[in-house]
Structures are given as structure tokens and as C-alpha cells.
Amino acid sequence: MRAPTKATFLVVEDGDEYIRRFERFLGARFAFVRAGCFREVGHCLAQTPSCAGLLLDLDFRRTPPAELVDEAGRLLGAGALPTEAGTGSALHGVQGILILRALRQHGVCLPAWLFADLPDGEQVTFLETSLAPLRVLSSAVGLPGLAALLTAASPTR
């Protein structure tokens, strides 16, 4: 009899803090794959066809501007860098939302969790409705709470 396969989740972040923490504390129950920007997400999803969901950071301030996605879901690329001062930094601060929006536009409908402390409840409701299935998680949700959410989203194996 074969041992059950762990559900795999794609962690989308510009660093490695989330994936290291998840692997350390939740790795016995789940598998995690990391993508550092939108361009890498497509490759990771192609390599992980049984991905159970997306775990997204909000802020991508360490991502080079050419790797950012704009509000229309397009990669800025080396030839299309923003000309207005501050545009890149504004995109950095909401990149997790923009990546998820671009994925939804491309038909990716996996469950998603966005790690963001958003003070505006109406904004949270708007995001969760317009980018469903999405749950915005504040820093108050600890690892046990996240484990319960991932377990509920995991396919039975």
C-alpha cells in the first residue's frame, strides 16, 4: 500500500521567509513550492499540476521592477519600466494582489490565501469577492489556523 501524498501549495513571495517557516512547522503535513514572481508562478504550476492552492505575500519590495505585474496583469519587463517616480514602489506594495488578479485572468481558480494586515474591512470583502476563492489572512492567524485552512482545502488522498 502506497503512503498518501502530501497536498502541495505554491508559496508566492519575493523572499524565503514564508516557505522556510511553512516547511519547518507544516512540512510533515504539506509540501510547499516557491515562486518569487509572476513569471515563476506559471512555471511552478506547470511543474505541479496537482497544486492544492496558492499562498501569497502582499508586498514584493525585493522584486526587480522588470518582474512586476501592473494593474492590467502585464509584466512590466525591461522595455516597459514605469516612467513616473514611485510607480514601481506602488506596484511592489500590492504585488500579491496583482499577481492573483493576473492568475484569475488566465483562468487559474485555485484557492488562495493572501497574507496581509489590511485595516479596511470593505477592502478585504472586495478582494475576497472579486478574486474568489480567496481568503485574506492577517498576522493574527497563526500556524495552527493556517494548517486547519490548508487541511480543509487539501484533496483527500
DSSP calls for 3-49 = PPPPEEEEEE-SSSHHHHHHHHHHTTTEEEEEESSHHHHHHHHHH-T
pLDDT for 5 beyond 90: no
What pLDDT score does 84 carry? Answer: 45
Rounded to whole angstroms, how far apart are CA atoms 59 and 95?
6
Rounded to whole angstroms, how far apart are CA atoms 78 and 25?
38
Residue-wise pLDDT for 26-81, tens only, equals 999 999 999 999 999 999 999 998 999 999 999 999 999 999 999 999 988 855 54
In angstroms, how far is CA 72 from the centroid of its own chain?
17
**pTM of the predicted model, to two decimals?**
0.91
DSSP calls for 98-133 = HHHHHHHHTT----EEEE---S-HHHHHHHHHHT-S
What pLDDT score does 79 carry? Answer: 52
Here the cell at position 151 is 487541511
CATH number for 7-59+95-153 (one of 3.40.50.2300, 3.40.50.300, 3.90.870.30, 3.40.50.1970): it is: 3.40.50.2300
pLDDT for 83 beyond 80: no
**For residue 59, which of 16, 27, 81, 91 has the smallest C-alpha distance?**
91
What pLDDT score does 31 carry? Answer: 97
Rounded to whole angstroms, how far apart are CA atoms 49 and 42?
11
What pLDDT score does 76 carry? Answer: 87
pLDDT for 85 beyond 90: no
Residue-wise pLDDT for 86-134, tens only, equals 456 799 999 999 999 999 999 999 999 999 999 999 999 999 999 999 9
Q: Are 101 and 73 in contact (CB under 8 A)?
A: yes
Instruction: For the chain, give every domain's residue range.
Output: 7-59+95-153
What pLDDT score does 89 carry? Answer: 74
Could you give the strand order of the β-sheet that contains 112-115, starting from the edge strand earlier in sequence?
30-35, 7-12, 51-57, 112-115, 134-137
What pLDDT score does 1 carry? Answer: 60
